[in-house]
Homo-oligomer: A and B are copies of this chain.
Amino acid sequence: MNKLYIVKIGGHVLDDEPALQKFLKDFASIQAPKILIHGGGSIATKIGNSLGIESKYVDGRRITDGPTRDLVTMVYGGLINKQMVARLQVLQCNAMGVTGADGNLLKAVKRPVKQIDYGLVGDITPEDVNSTLLYFLLKQNTVPVFASLTHAQGEMLNTNADTIASVLAISLSKHFDTRLIFCFEKPGVLKDVTDETSVIRHLNKDLYERLLAEGSFHDGILPKLENAFAAIRSGVREVLIGEHTQLIANTGYETKGTLITLQ
Protein backbone atom coordinates (compact mmCIF):
# COMPACT_ATOMS: atom_id res chain seq x y z
CA MET A 1 0.00 0.00 0.00
CA ASN A 2 1.07 3.58 -0.63
CA LYS A 3 2.00 5.79 2.26
CA LEU A 4 -0.45 8.54 3.27
CA TYR A 5 0.33 11.35 5.70
CA ILE A 6 -2.52 12.98 7.60
CA VAL A 7 -1.28 16.05 9.43
CA LYS A 8 -3.19 18.07 11.99
CA ILE A 9 -1.93 21.48 13.07
CA GLY A 10 -3.10 23.40 16.08
CA GLY A 11 -4.13 27.01 16.40
CA HIS A 12 -0.87 28.30 17.88
CA VAL A 13 1.04 27.81 14.62
CA LEU A 14 -1.57 29.87 12.76
CA ASP A 15 -0.81 32.84 15.02
CA ASP A 16 2.93 32.69 14.44
CA GLU A 17 3.69 33.84 10.89
CA PRO A 18 7.32 32.61 10.56
CA ALA A 19 6.39 29.26 12.15
CA LEU A 20 3.40 28.92 9.79
CA GLN A 21 5.50 29.66 6.71
CA LYS A 22 8.08 27.06 7.73
CA PHE A 23 5.36 24.54 8.48
CA LEU A 24 3.62 25.06 5.11
CA LYS A 25 6.94 24.75 3.28
CA ASP A 26 7.71 21.52 5.12
CA PHE A 27 4.22 20.17 4.51
CA ALA A 28 4.36 21.04 0.79
CA SER A 29 7.66 19.19 0.48
CA ILE A 30 6.23 15.81 1.60
CA GLN A 31 6.51 13.61 -1.50
CA ALA A 32 3.48 11.38 -0.90
CA PRO A 33 -0.31 11.66 -0.74
CA LYS A 34 -1.18 13.92 2.16
CA ILE A 35 -4.04 15.67 3.95
CA LEU A 36 -3.93 18.69 6.25
CA ILE A 37 -6.45 19.46 9.02
CA HIS A 38 -6.51 22.80 10.81
CA GLY A 39 -8.58 24.55 13.42
CA GLY A 40 -8.48 28.29 13.97
CA GLY A 41 -6.05 30.58 15.74
CA SER A 42 -6.69 33.68 17.80
CA ILE A 43 -7.96 35.49 14.66
CA ALA A 44 -11.39 33.83 15.14
CA THR A 45 -11.63 35.21 18.68
CA LYS A 46 -10.45 38.63 17.47
CA ILE A 47 -13.03 38.82 14.66
CA GLY A 48 -15.68 37.40 16.99
CA ASN A 49 -14.96 40.18 19.50
CA SER A 50 -15.29 42.83 16.78
CA LEU A 51 -18.64 41.32 15.77
CA GLY A 52 -19.82 41.13 19.37
CA ILE A 53 -19.86 37.33 19.38
CA GLU A 54 -18.86 35.98 22.77
CA SER A 55 -17.48 32.55 23.55
CA LYS A 56 -20.02 30.69 25.66
CA TYR A 57 -19.30 28.04 28.24
CA VAL A 58 -21.55 25.79 30.31
CA ASP A 59 -19.83 23.92 33.18
CA GLY A 60 -16.48 24.79 31.62
CA ARG A 61 -17.45 23.26 28.23
CA ARG A 62 -17.44 25.43 25.15
CA ILE A 63 -20.85 25.81 23.50
CA THR A 64 -21.33 26.50 19.77
CA ASP A 65 -24.37 28.75 19.36
CA GLY A 66 -25.59 30.07 15.99
CA PRO A 67 -23.40 33.19 15.82
CA THR A 68 -20.32 31.19 16.92
CA ARG A 69 -21.00 28.56 14.26
CA ASP A 70 -21.29 31.29 11.59
CA LEU A 71 -18.07 32.83 12.88
CA VAL A 72 -16.07 29.59 12.62
CA THR A 73 -17.63 28.85 9.21
CA MET A 74 -16.37 32.24 8.00
CA VAL A 75 -13.00 32.26 9.69
CA TYR A 76 -11.95 28.60 9.65
CA GLY A 77 -13.76 27.58 6.44
CA GLY A 78 -13.16 30.87 4.61
CA LEU A 79 -10.33 33.11 5.71
CA ILE A 80 -7.82 30.70 7.25
CA ASN A 81 -8.55 27.81 4.90
CA LYS A 82 -8.27 29.83 1.68
CA GLN A 83 -5.21 31.78 2.80
CA MET A 84 -3.50 28.48 3.54
CA VAL A 85 -4.57 26.98 0.21
CA ALA A 86 -3.30 30.00 -1.75
CA ARG A 87 0.03 29.83 0.07
CA LEU A 88 0.38 26.07 -0.53
CA GLN A 89 -0.37 26.60 -4.24
CA VAL A 90 2.64 28.86 -4.55
CA LEU A 91 4.71 26.11 -2.91
CA GLN A 92 3.70 23.74 -5.76
CA CYS A 93 1.26 21.85 -3.55
CA ASN A 94 -2.13 21.49 -5.24
CA ALA A 95 -4.15 22.15 -2.10
CA MET A 96 -7.94 21.94 -2.11
CA GLY A 97 -9.66 23.56 0.84
CA VAL A 98 -12.70 21.69 2.13
CA THR A 99 -15.08 21.28 5.02
CA GLY A 100 -17.02 18.13 5.78
CA ALA A 101 -19.97 19.53 3.81
CA ASP A 102 -18.00 19.75 0.56
CA GLY A 103 -18.54 16.64 -1.50
CA ASN A 104 -20.27 15.23 1.60
CA LEU A 105 -16.77 14.34 2.81
CA LEU A 106 -17.81 14.24 6.48
CA LYS A 107 -21.47 13.80 7.25
CA ALA A 108 -22.01 14.31 10.94
CA VAL A 109 -24.75 13.78 13.48
CA LYS A 110 -25.59 16.84 15.54
CA ARG A 111 -24.50 15.99 19.08
CA PRO A 112 -27.54 14.87 21.08
CA VAL A 113 -28.50 17.03 24.06
CA LYS A 114 -27.80 15.18 27.34
CA GLN A 115 -26.62 16.95 30.49
CA ILE A 116 -25.15 19.68 28.33
CA ASP A 117 -26.42 21.12 25.04
CA TYR A 118 -23.18 21.65 23.12
CA GLY A 119 -25.11 23.44 20.40
CA LEU A 120 -24.11 23.20 16.76
CA VAL A 121 -21.47 20.51 17.15
CA GLY A 122 -21.11 17.55 14.81
CA ASP A 123 -20.10 14.05 15.90
CA ILE A 124 -18.53 11.77 13.31
CA THR A 125 -17.42 8.17 12.92
CA PRO A 126 -15.15 6.60 10.26
CA GLU A 127 -18.30 5.38 8.46
CA ASP A 128 -19.26 9.03 7.86
CA VAL A 129 -16.27 9.69 5.57
CA ASN A 130 -16.81 9.85 1.80
CA SER A 131 -13.57 7.93 1.34
CA THR A 132 -14.30 7.20 -2.33
CA LEU A 133 -14.17 10.90 -3.22
CA LEU A 134 -11.18 11.52 -0.94
CA TYR A 135 -9.32 8.62 -2.53
CA PHE A 136 -10.00 10.02 -6.00
CA LEU A 137 -8.90 13.52 -4.97
CA LEU A 138 -5.63 12.09 -3.65
CA LYS A 139 -5.19 10.09 -6.88
CA GLN A 140 -5.51 13.38 -8.80
CA ASN A 141 -2.55 14.67 -6.77
CA THR A 142 -4.70 17.22 -5.01
CA VAL A 143 -4.10 17.78 -1.31
CA PRO A 144 -7.27 18.12 0.77
CA VAL A 145 -6.98 20.83 3.43
CA PHE A 146 -9.77 20.43 5.98
CA ALA A 147 -11.22 23.19 8.13
CA SER A 148 -12.68 21.63 11.28
CA LEU A 149 -16.31 21.77 10.18
CA THR A 150 -18.84 19.10 9.27
CA HIS A 151 -22.50 19.18 8.28
CA ALA A 152 -25.85 17.58 9.03
CA GLN A 153 -29.36 18.27 7.78
CA GLY A 154 -28.49 21.38 5.84
CA GLU A 155 -26.43 23.02 8.57
CA MET A 156 -22.74 23.54 9.14
CA LEU A 157 -21.46 22.11 12.43
CA ASN A 158 -18.34 22.68 14.51
CA THR A 159 -16.20 19.55 14.98
CA ASN A 160 -12.96 18.95 16.86
CA ALA A 161 -9.99 18.97 14.46
CA ASP A 162 -8.17 16.10 16.26
CA THR A 163 -11.28 13.95 15.88
CA ILE A 164 -11.55 14.78 12.17
CA ALA A 165 -7.89 13.81 11.68
CA SER A 166 -8.36 10.54 13.55
CA VAL A 167 -11.59 9.62 11.73
CA LEU A 168 -10.07 10.41 8.30
CA ALA A 169 -7.02 8.28 9.14
CA ILE A 170 -9.14 5.30 10.18
CA SER A 171 -11.32 5.54 7.09
CA LEU A 172 -8.39 5.85 4.66
CA SER A 173 -6.38 3.04 6.25
CA LYS A 174 -8.15 0.58 3.96
CA HIS A 175 -6.51 2.33 0.96
CA PHE A 176 -3.22 3.55 2.42
CA ASP A 177 -0.45 2.75 4.87
CA THR A 178 -1.36 5.75 7.01
CA ARG A 179 0.70 7.85 9.40
CA LEU A 180 -1.38 10.30 11.40
CA ILE A 181 0.67 13.22 12.71
CA PHE A 182 -0.57 15.54 15.45
CA CYS A 183 1.54 18.70 15.46
CA PHE A 184 1.53 20.85 18.57
CA GLU A 185 3.85 23.01 20.68
CA LYS A 186 5.61 20.25 22.62
CA PRO A 187 8.29 17.94 21.22
CA GLY A 188 6.11 14.90 21.98
CA VAL A 189 4.42 13.07 24.82
CA LEU A 190 6.53 13.85 27.90
CA LYS A 191 7.31 11.51 30.81
CA ASP A 192 7.71 14.60 32.93
CA VAL A 193 5.59 17.54 31.74
CA THR A 194 8.12 20.04 33.14
CA ASP A 195 11.02 18.48 31.22
CA GLU A 196 10.95 18.89 27.43
CA THR A 197 13.80 16.42 27.01
CA SER A 198 11.71 13.61 28.55
CA VAL A 199 9.95 12.67 25.27
CA ILE A 200 8.61 9.12 25.18
CA ARG A 201 10.04 8.08 21.81
CA HIS A 202 7.86 5.05 21.30
CA LEU A 203 4.54 4.20 22.86
CA ASN A 204 2.63 0.99 22.21
CA LYS A 205 -0.67 -0.19 23.59
CA ASP A 206 0.84 -2.08 26.53
CA LEU A 207 3.09 0.77 27.66
CA TYR A 208 0.22 3.26 27.21
CA GLU A 209 -2.09 1.23 29.40
CA ARG A 210 0.55 0.77 32.05
CA LEU A 211 1.44 4.50 32.17
CA LEU A 212 -2.25 5.38 32.11
CA ALA A 213 -2.92 3.15 35.12
CA GLU A 214 0.03 4.77 36.90
CA GLY A 215 -1.49 8.21 36.22
CA SER A 216 1.66 9.30 34.38
CA PHE A 217 -0.01 11.46 31.73
CA HIS A 218 -0.72 15.15 32.04
CA ASP A 219 -4.40 16.08 31.56
CA GLY A 220 -3.62 18.14 28.46
CA ILE A 221 -2.22 15.20 26.51
CA LEU A 222 -4.95 12.68 27.41
CA PRO A 223 -7.52 13.59 24.70
CA LYS A 224 -4.74 13.42 22.06
CA LEU A 225 -3.66 10.00 23.32
CA GLU A 226 -7.26 8.78 23.30
CA ASN A 227 -7.66 9.93 19.67
CA ALA A 228 -4.32 8.35 18.82
CA PHE A 229 -5.14 4.94 20.27
CA ALA A 230 -8.65 5.02 18.83
CA ALA A 231 -6.93 5.34 15.44
CA ILE A 232 -4.32 2.66 16.18
CA ARG A 233 -6.94 0.17 17.37
CA SER A 234 -8.92 0.75 14.15
CA GLY A 235 -6.19 0.00 11.64
CA VAL A 236 -4.08 3.16 11.43
CA ARG A 237 -0.47 1.96 11.20
CA GLU A 238 1.28 4.80 13.04
CA VAL A 239 0.41 7.92 14.97
CA LEU A 240 3.03 10.55 15.68
CA ILE A 241 2.63 13.28 18.29
CA GLY A 242 5.29 15.95 17.92
CA GLU A 243 6.33 19.55 17.47
CA HIS A 244 5.20 21.44 14.36
CA THR A 245 8.81 22.45 13.67
CA GLN A 246 9.78 18.77 13.32
CA LEU A 247 7.37 17.78 10.55
CA ILE A 248 10.06 16.67 8.12
CA ALA A 249 11.77 14.42 10.69
CA ASN A 250 8.41 13.11 11.83
CA THR A 251 7.43 11.98 8.33
CA GLY A 252 10.67 9.95 8.08
CA TYR A 253 12.11 6.90 9.82
CA GLU A 254 14.03 8.72 12.54
CA THR A 255 11.16 10.52 14.19
CA LYS A 256 11.72 13.20 16.83
CA GLY A 257 8.32 13.03 18.54
CA THR A 258 6.37 10.18 20.10
CA LEU A 259 5.70 7.34 17.69
CA ILE A 260 2.62 5.35 18.58
CA THR A 261 2.00 1.86 17.25
CA LEU A 262 -0.08 -1.12 18.31
CA GLN A 263 2.85 -3.41 19.18
Contacts and interface: CB of A to CB of B under 8 A. Distances in A.
Interface residue tally on A, bucketed by range: 35 or more
B101 A98 contact: no
Contacts of A99: 82, 85, 97
Contact of A81 (B50, B78, B87, B153): B78
Nearest to A139: B136
Given A47-B51, A78-B81, A79-B74, A86 B154 contact: yes
A221 interface: no
Interface stretch (A29-37, A88-96, A160-168, A189-197): A88-96
Contact of A96 (B76, B86, B98): B98
A51 B52 CA distance: 10
Given A74-B79, A79-B78, A83-B156, A104 B94 contact: yes
A73 to B, nearest CB: 5
Contacts of A86: 101, 151, 154-156
In order of increasing CB-CB distance, the 3 nearest A-B pairs are A78-B78, A90-B154, A74-B78
Interface of A: 47, 50-52, 70, 73-79, 81-83, 85-87, 89-90, 94-99, 101-104, 107, 133, 136, 140, 142, 149, 151, 153-156
20 contacts: A47-B51, A70-B79, A73-B82, A74-B75, A75-B78, A77-B78, A78-B82, A82-B101, A82-B102, A82-B149, A85-B151, A86-B101, A86-B155, A87-B154, A89-B107, A89-B154, A94-B103, A95-B102, A133-B142, A136-B136
